[in-house]
Amino acid sequence: MKNILIICEKFAPENTVGATRMTKIAKYLKLSGKYEVTVVTRKYSGVADSLLQKDIQYIDKFIYASEGWFGRKVKNAYTYKSTSKGYADEKRKQASILAQKDIKAYFIALKKSIVSVISVLITEIIARSYAKNATNEIRKQNCKYDVIISSHGPEASHYIGRSCKKIQNDAIWIADFRDQLYQGEATFGLLRLWSKTYAQRICQKADWYTAVSKGCMENIFPPIGSNMKVITNGYDKDDVIGIEGKYKNYGVLTFAYIGSFLIGRRDISPVFRAVQELVLEKKIDKKKIQFIYAGDDEAEFILQSHKYELDSSIFSLGKVRREEALSWEMSSDILLLAAWNTQGYTGSLPAKFYEYLNCGKNIVCCISGTAGESELKSIIESTNAGFCYEEFSDEKDGVALKEYIMNAYNIFFSTGKFDNKYNVDAVKKYDHKILSLQIQDLIEKSG
């Protein structure tokens, strides 16, 4: 039996989407019966994700680390600054000024460049401090590992992976990227240069590189080489066992958006626009439509819907527990998803998409940005999971989106339901149990 060391700062039971990928990989590697699994992560003290909490039983050992006193002070100060009140409004204000191309725009750009330098320094302090402490904790265990899997982000995971590879050069090192290294044109100055070169600087000695999408991989290592493998996120059937759609409203066609909006990136207003036009054309009754939102960004959801006069159809739940979120998804008829596909940042595949697949509901996705033919659209079409609108082809997709909603409305009120017509074989490829086999294959290929 081989010993695997998984290095991942976000791990069960942390209540974030980022904790899911490595938690599920670890679970199914353990269930294969071939591996002992040790996980290096932070000790989590927040509100646990009860579904991920159950997966902790598959981990043989945890090694906990932190960035130390100084690193914590720097991190806390930086986090407070980044999430202070009015941050989202300030981003919109700055984007508006930049679009005007006047003198203020140049000062905004200069400010962003200065901030990028500071961000690099702060990120490095936090990452290096955490990596140093984590590596020391690993050394204390005095254990030989056959496989090392480090998962970005944050950056420290690959720093630790590199150190462990130096200590045990014969171990197989898989450097995984569940996040993009930089945000395309939205990343400025030194931060962009530092991010673009991060993988080449840090992960040179890795045996394999994995990423959640082709766009993400190309963002890191253009062109893709023979030791690079796209392994997407996925779903776990165990997560929906016992979950029922207990909020079902049978007299109303229900759309639900569950999760966060990244300000300026995720936009579902094309759906609101299509519904408003159908209402004005008297093809649907607004009283028979409802939009459910659950998450931290209620203001953004309402802001996008308000201009289309759909306030009376909006119901916001605020942030809810994972089981409740799944129950709302099960209770809904159409699940709404938003992503982006821009020049310099392709390959956005939200983890929420796979959760939606697990619920077996029709999905309507809106993709903003200047690039077309996104990976997400390709997957939605291959799985027959629903409809994907792209801003890139607004004229064509806008008409098709209206037709899709009109069809859903008619089917729902003639049959009482709007069932999915998934391509079952295509959907199975995104089962975490199947995806974990790809990791095992990389390990076996390396001996």
237/41 Cα distance (integer angstroms): 25
Residues 6 or more apart from 401 whose CB is under 8 A from it? 270, 271, 274, 364, 387, 389
For residue 34, the SS3 value is: coil
Percent of the chain at pLDDT exceeding 70: 84
* Residue of 357, 340, 359 whose CA lies nearest to 349: 340
The answer to whether 314 and 301 are in contact (CB under 8 A) is: yes
Residue 259 has pLDDT above 70, yes or no: yes
pLDDT band at 427 (very low <50, low <70, confident <90, very high): very high
Write the pLDDT tens digit of every residue in 56-103: 999 999 999 987 766 666 666 655 444 333 434 444 444 444 445 555
The larger pLDDT score, comparing residue 110 to residue 387, is at: 387
CATH number for the region 238-426 comes to 3.40.50.2000
Considering only 115-129, 288-302, 381-395, which range has the smallest mean pLDDT?
115-129
The answer to whether 361 and 329 are in contact (CB under 8 A) is: yes
Mean pLDDT of 166-185: 83
Q: Per mean pLDDT, which of 97-101, 152-156, 367-371 is the most reliable?
A: 367-371
179/260 Cα distance (integer angstroms): 16
C-beta atoms surrounding 61 within 10 Å? 13
How do the domains of the chain map onto residue ranges? 2-234+432-445, 238-426
198/127 Cα distance (integer angstroms): 12
Considering only 88-102, 105-119, 151-165, 389-403, which range has the smallest mean pLDDT?
88-102
Residues 6 or more apart from 24 whose CB is under 8 A from it? 55, 234, 236, 432, 435, 436
**Domains 2-234+432-445 and 238-426 equal at CATH topology level:** yes
Write the pLDDT tens digit of every residue in 316-358: 999 888 899 999 999 999 999 999 888 777 888 999 999 999 9
pLDDT band at 226 (very low <50, low <70, confident <90, very high): confident
pLDDT band at 50 (very low <50, low <70, confident <90, very high): confident
What pLDDT was estimated at residue 82? 43
330/315 Cα distance (integer angstroms): 16
Average pLDDT, the chain: 86
Tokens 């390709």 appear where? 378
What pLDDT was estimated at residue 105? 55
Considering only 61-75, 238-252, 328-342, 401-415, which range has the smallest mean pLDDT?
61-75
Mean pLDDT of 410-435: 95
- CATH fold, domain 2-234+432-445, is Rossmann fold (3.40.50)
Strands 334-340 and 386-390: unpaired
What pLDDT was estimated at residue 191? 59
Mean pLDDT of 104-130: 67
pLDDT band at 264 (very low <50, low <70, confident <90, very high): low
What pLDDT was estimated at residue 88? 44
What pLDDT was estimated at residue 83? 38
